[in-house]
Amino acid sequence: MPLEYIALMMIIGFFVLVLTGMPVAFAIAAVGFIFGFIGFDGWLFELLPSRIFGSVTNYTLLAIPLFVFMGVMLDKTRVAERMLDVIGHASGALPGGMALAVILVGVLMGAATGIVGAAIVTLTLMALPTLIRRGYKPTVACGTICASGTLGQIIPPSLVLLVLADTMNLSVGSLFAAALVPGLALATLYVLYLLVLAWYNSADVPALDAAERASISKTQIMKDLVTSVLPPLALVLAVLGAIIGGVAAPTEAASVGAVGAVVVAALMRRLSMPVLNDALLTTVRITAMVFFVLIASQVFALAFRGLDGELLVEGMLNWVPGGPYGTLLFMMLLIFLLGFFLEWIQITYIVVPLFLPFLAGVPEFSMVWIAILIAMNLQTSFLTPPFGWSLIFMKGVAPKGIKTSDIYRGAIPFVIIQLVALALIIAFPAIALWLPEAIGW
């Protein structure tokens, strides 16, 4: 049997195992070992130790646990909860003001944490009961929270960007710089959608009532903004500025961010030993998951390449009309569809490498631009049923009375907005590339 056929069976086998419910890391490694032994009697895996060692000793990957710890610490100390309350009251006189506050806090949490689960659970517990109590339409409230919680996947420092930098052999700093404007532009599109909604149907997104606005003085709101919003915002700006400005390497800036998160929590009198222990344990769990999938993917990649899987992909891409841009659109469509069923990390380690050899050979394509397109596309996977993790996280902690249909229908407008943003970046690459080029990355 030709090796390419075995490689095709390998891909099919992976999807079958995933659909049976087997943990992804085990499924990736299992199909790699099984089909590697079928094709080569196992001798191919003599190369495996060196590949795994080369991956896990990548210095850049040290930034992952440090950034995760920074985000988890800010989440566990409930800094984000306080930010939402303060910003919500500051914008409460505007129809849709609380929803806009959720978007802004989502941006800040995305820049501070980059962890979807933490952001969605935190925003749901904090904001959803409040929005419903203040008369927000359930679908709008659910969609706003889900979309805001996923902003951390495109706004740096993002775990998705760190993993893509490793997978595509790109500079973390260049990806962070390239993702900043698209991430903020996506948040701006969310805001515009909510403002239009408030203009045409303010009953769906009412303003705070006058009595509640009068209960807190403007002086107190300004004081709260300085004490509760400024410290975490300064930490985020310092970390990102150090990386994008070339002052510090990503790992160095991540270490400063981790220490800074502890300092911010201490200054806000929210630091305790139980919170610190909880943050450390959560960081270990998340980091272990990422590295386990990374190691398992080396087994898959080694077997797939040994089975001439790259030739299989090349032949498939030759069937796609439209030349390089046709292939790019095909990859975007494939990633979007796979996002309905697979997690972003599976797509990153399994699907993305299949297209890289072809895309890297196209002179007019910037790989940094490609990486941002992939990151923006992967973000939609958190909002698409049936396995959109943002939807699942929200359903797990949503108050009684919130239906699954409310969550799914609420996410649809924001998925469309994400696709519009993706189309804009495809049509105008400068959205992603002008900042890295301007600062010399």
Hey, which of 21-30, 156-165, 178-187 has the most confident mean pLDDT? 178-187
Does residue 297 contact residue 54 with C-beta atoms inside 8 Å?
Answer: no
Per-residue pLDDT tens digits for 379-432? 888 888 766 777 877 777 677 788 888 888 888 999 999 999 999 999 999 999
Does residue 175 contact residue 156 with C-beta atoms inside 8 Å?
Answer: yes
Q: Tell me the DSSP string of 214-244.
A: HTS-HHHHHHHIIIIIHHHHHHHHHHHHHHH
pLDDT(297) > 70 = yes
Per-residue pLDDT tens digits for 84-122? 667 766 766 667 777 888 888 777 776 665 566 666 766
Binned at pLDDT 50, 70 and 90, residue 440 comes out as low
DSSP state of 343: -
Q: Which structure tokens are listed for 369?
A: 């631009």
- What distance in Å separates the CA atoms of residue 5 and residue 17, rounded to the nearest whole number? 18
Q: What angle is formed at CA 378 by the lines to CA 312 and CA 420, rounded to 5 degrees?
A: 110
Binned at pLDDT 50, 70 and 90, residue 341 comes out as low
State mean pLDDT over 357-370: 84
Neighbours of 219 (CB within 10 A): 8
Hey, which of 38-52, 211-225, 255-269 has the most confident mean pLDDT? 255-269
- Domain locations in the chain as residue ranges: 3-439
Neighbours of 243 (CB within 10 A): 27
Does residue 182 contact residue 425 with C-beta atoms inside 8 Å?
Answer: yes
State mean pLDDT over 353-381: 86
- Give the model's pLDDT for residue 122: 66
- Give the model's pLDDT for residue 401: 80
Mean pLDDT of the residues in the chain? 79
- Give the model's pLDDT for residue 208: 65
- Give the model's pLDDT for residue 316: 66
- Give the model's pLDDT for residue 317: 64
Does residue 270 contact residue 51 with C-beta atoms inside 8 Å?
Answer: no
Per-residue pLDDT tens digits for 67-83? 778 777 877 777 766 77
Per-residue pLDDT tens digits for 133-164? 778 888 988 999 889 888 878 888 777 888 88
State mean pLDDT over 193-215: 75
Cα 427 to the center of its chain, rounded Å? 22
Q: How far is CA 369 from CA 154, 242, 350, 374, 432, in A?
A: 13, 22, 20, 9, 6
Does residue 104 contact residue 232 with C-beta atoms inside 8 Å?
Answer: no
Provide φ and ψ at 355, rounded to 5°. -90, -15
Q: Which structure tokens are listed for 151?
A: 């902003």
Per-residue pLDDT tens digits for 374-385? 999 988 888 887
Share of the chain above pLDDT 70, in %: 82
pLDDT(213) > 60 = no
- Give the model's pLDDT for residue 181: 92
